[in-house]
Chain A
Amino acid sequence: MKLRNIFLAPTAILMAVTMLAPLAIIMVYSLLTRGAYGGVELPWTIENFTRLWDPVYAVIFLRSFWIAAVATALCLVLGFPLAMFIARSGSRKNLYLSLVILPFWTSFLIRTYAWMFLLRDTGILNSLLQALRIIREPLSLLYNDGAVILGLVYGFLPFMVLPLYATLERLDPSLLEAAADLGARPRDTLVRVTFPLCAPGIRAGAILVFVPCLGTYLTSDLLGGSKTVMIGNLVQNQFTASRDWPFGAALSLALMAIAMVLLFAARKRGEEML
């Protein structure tokens, strides 16, 4: 078993340095006081955590939850028929599936920028609508909550489609036939047979979309306006412009705690990857 330990050693060291030590530092910092010139100072305090309940920040948490929830719901509504289409497309399944995965391999940053290009005041959409004389003044499509939600749906739709597809693929077609034979209309079969049987896929997809959306920074920073501050932006701000590291640390821990709780709540035995 010595070989095993040698093989695991570099990973153990790396994980300790890049994951556990930073986490430990953050935990300590979250209990310290903000230094006069940035940095951290004694005394110990829990004030950084009590500040989380300040309405100014609570609103940001609530807004982040709201945006992530809407994006997740939209991914589910948009992703389910697509997953169903792929699962039923016979020999072309792999092609259709790779068309969903493909954007995942291209840059997330660039795909977000593509929406800036489409949505801005002098962007394609506004130019097109103006050329068609549907609108006279450009609509402000960019820099609002809607644009952020759009960007999140666009970025995370594949994460919803894949687990949905995996469960739909395994779905026994004879169950659907049985429902039809017993007189269920297609819509009843969908609602009362297909949806319940897809619950594990829906749960997995919802978590895979909701958790990263909740902690998003890039999308809200580029597509959201100054009013669309989410938790991720708040964290970034504490570590850069505001230079309030203790509060940034407390925010980071709160965000991680929420993510962990959601993941454990949604996890079922036998669904582990590692």
Chain B
Amino acid sequence: MKRGLAVYAVFAYAFLHVPLLILAVFSFNSSRFAVWERFSLQWYRAVAHDGNLIESSLNSLIIAIVATALATIIGTLAAYGLWKRGSAWLSGSMYLSLVTPEIVTGASLLALFQWVFRFAHLRLGMHTVILAHVGFSLAYVVVVVLARLRSYDRTLEEAALDLGATELGAFYRVTLPYLVPAIAAAAMLAFTVSIDDYVITSLVAGVDSQTLPMVIYAMARRGVNPALNAVSTLVVFGLGMLIMLSERLRKT
């Protein structure tokens, strides 16, 4: 039984990881086709010279960094507030945002933006994408930070208050340091969901705010392209480095 499970596990892990490995290996193939010819960096060179890819990557990074910073700060404050005393409608709306299918979130945001634009001289662009990203990553941040607060000893904060700290001072100097690991994890989560999002972004993005997933998606729909393998490898490698880095930081 035990051996059977172990053999099965090997196959299951292969199923989970081999597809990406194959993709990475073939990004170094000189041929366009799925037959190995010889090692080559030509697809990486093609990526480096593709202005569209570079520009959309920069857009994605800007959006993800700004949205992550905003969602992490706002969400941490909200988690603390909810930990002090719950709020049924806030929890309810965040729960709703977690379970709403992405396509519905995107379409309804688009409907809202278009309605607002009738009265204001605004257009879809980076700002609408950032707003959408902060909106959908906020609930993730709150869930992660709130989970850490559940194991927090209330008496620590009470002691600080008894010793003369203001409410804000107690939060900033006692509670917040305790939350740092959870805040870092929440920021990581917000960043990865933001940088990877296609469905919502594609609906609320304007002509000047193409993101990397949108370009990747368009390339994938046109069919397989070795340059896309190279981009994918770079993205997966980049995210992997980020996770390792955050793990390092978490452990020190």
Contact = CB atoms under 8 A, between A and B. Distances in A.
B41 interface: no
A108 B135 contact: no
B93 A19 contact: yes
Nearest to A215: B101
A107 B235 contact: yes
Nearest to A23: B108
**A contact residues, range:** 35 or more
Interface stretch (A41-49, A54-62, A95-103, A196-204): A95-103
A222 B96 CA distance: 27
Nearest to B193: A108
Given A11-B138, A84-B5, A232-B101, A105 B239 contact: yes
Given A19-B93, A22-B112, A259 B9 contact: no
Interface string A66-110: 000000000000100110111010000000100110110111111
A15 B93 contact: yes
Contacts of A164: none
Interface string B208-252: 000001001100110110001100100110011001000000000
A38 B7 CA distance: 56
Interface in A106-146: 106-118, 120, 122-124, 126-127
Interface stretch (B16-24, B43-51, B119-127): B16-24
Contact of B35 (A105, A114, A127, A235): A127
Contacts of A110: 20, 23, 216, 232, 235-236
Contacts of B146: 273-274
A230 to B, nearest CB: 10
A239 B91 contact: no
Contact of B74 (A10, A122, A157): A10
Given A106-B239, A109-B217, A154-B19, A25 B12 contact: no
B16 A100 contact: yes
Interface string B55-79: 0000000000000000000110110
B38 interface: no
A252 interface: yes
B113 to A, nearest CB: 9
A218 B229 CA distance: 18
Given A21-B112, A25-B112, A96 B78 contact: no
Interface in B174-228: 192, 195-196, 198-199, 203, 213, 216-217, 220-221, 223-224, 228
B165 interface: no
B37 interface: no
Given A3-B168, A211-B99, A22 B17 contact: no
B85 A109 contact: no
Interface string A146-170: 0000000010011000000000000
A37 interface: no
A186 interface: yes
A3 B16 contact: no
Contact of B111 (A5, A82, A245, A263): A245
A107 B196 contact: yes
Nearest to A20: B93
Interface in A215-274: 215-218, 221-222, 232, 235-236, 238-240, 245, 248-249, 252, 255-256, 259-260, 263, 273-274
A111 B19 contact: yes
A12 interface: yes
B53 interface: no
B247 to A, nearest CB: 9
A25 B108 CA distance: 7
A19 B135 contact: yes
Contacts of A214: 101
Given A85-B5, A256-B100, 9 more contacts: A11-B77, A11-B138, A14-B74, A25-B112, A103-B17, A106-B240, A107-B236, A109-B217, A252-B104
The 9 A-B pairs of least Cβ separation, nearest first, read A215-B101, A18-B135, A22-B108, A11-B78, A7-B81, A8-B81, A7-B77, A114-B19, A274-B91
10 contacts: A11-B74, A18-B135, A19-B135, A25-B115, A106-B20, A109-B216, A110-B232, A158-B16, A211-B101, A222-B221
